[in-house]
Amino acid sequence: MDAEMELSFEDALNELETVVQKLEDGTLDLNQTVVLYRRGRALAAHCQRLLDTVELRVQQLASTGPEGQNANGPTGAELR
């Protein structure tokens, strides 16, 4: 498992911000730049996966009422 997969969203985002700052400084050699760029891409992808998961959960919660019922009313199958 990649190290970023174990990071919380907040930790991954903080590390990503650090990576971006180092890359923007422009003081790294080419090899260091490539390594940090790859790490930044992996962190960004990890953050996006976490956000996608949370978004799906929120959508699922929003589509159900407080007692697990469909918040938009009964579906066709529920009316039969």
Residue 1 scores a pLDDT above 50: no
pLDDT at 37: 98
pLDDT at 5: 76
pLDDT at 67: 66
Tell me the pLDDT tens digit for each residue of 51-61: 999 999 999 99
**Which of 56, 37, 49, 38 minimizes the C-alpha distance to 6?**
49
CB count within 10 Å of CB 33 equals: 14
Rounded Cα gap, residues 70 and 66, in angstroms? 9
Q: Using an 8 Å Cβ cutoff, are 21 and 49 in contact?
A: no
Provide mean pLDDT across the span 49-76.
Answer: 80
**Domains with residue ranges and CATH for the chain:** 3-66 (1.10.287)
Tell me the pLDDT tens digit for each residue of 27-47: 999 999 999 999 999 999 999
